[in-house]
């Protein structure tokens, strides 16, 4: 699939969720493939509204069954690490955090990546549901079969400091 077609598809999800983006936000749409070259399965598509010394606000799109790889937000420059709240705006989100393991999970771990998806406390978010992830807690998330749009509200975001379970992930 051509990148322009991929971007168009991502932007359609913002429309489905009723989220209006400015032309500059559309231009700054980030397609994070994490250096995995596996866009359809492991990626994250996002627009950052604000990221300053106090807080961050983002909109994220996951295409159907797309997964954001397991990671954590460690302490950085004397801060505890990012505290983030996810609010589902469209679709269904399977969110997994460290903690009590669910007996069975509904998401599908990317084939051959089982060692890099260890958080198993399952939280399923539908439109209007939200969940707050504490700093330095391993987590990963996946869209349901219709895709998902997620608003993120957090303390300052420093993506380059995120620690991923899969050592082949590159996040700049």
pLDDT in tens, 31-76: 999 999 999 999 999 999 999 999 999 999 999 999 999 999 999 8
Compute the average pLDDT of residues 138-162: 96
3-164, CATH topology level: Jelly Rolls (2.60.120)
Beta strands in the chain (DSSP E): 30-32, 44-51, 56-62, 67-72, 84-97, 121-125, 130-133, 139-154, 163-164
Compute the average pLDDT of residues 91-115: 95
What would the pLDDT profile of 81-92 be if each residue is shown by its tens digit? 999 999 999 999
90 within 8 A of 150, measured Cβ to Cβ:
no
Delimit the domains of the chain by residue range.
3-164
């Amino acid at each position: 699939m051509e990148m322009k077609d991929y971007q168009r598809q991502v932007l359609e999800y913002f429309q489905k969720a009723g989220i209006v983006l400015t032309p500059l936000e559309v231009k700054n749409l980030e397609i994070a493939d994490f250096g995995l070259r596996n866009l359809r399965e492991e990626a994250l598509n996002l627009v950052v509204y604000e990221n300053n010394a106090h807080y961050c606000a983002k909109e994220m799109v996951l295409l159907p069954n797309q997964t954001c790889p397991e990671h954590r937000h460690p302490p950085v420059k004397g801060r505890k690490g990012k505290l983030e709240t996810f609010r589902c705006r469209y679709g269904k989100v399977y969110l997994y955090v460290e903690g009590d393991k669910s007996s069975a999970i509904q998401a599908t771990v990317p084939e051959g990546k089982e060692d890099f998806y260890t958080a198993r406390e399952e939280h399923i978010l539908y439109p209007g549901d939200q969940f707050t992830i504490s700093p330095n807690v391993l987590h990963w998330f996946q869209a349901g079969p219709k895709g998902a749009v997620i608003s993120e509200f957090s303390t300052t975001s420093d993506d380059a400091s995120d620690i991923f379970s899969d050592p082949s992930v590159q996040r700049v």
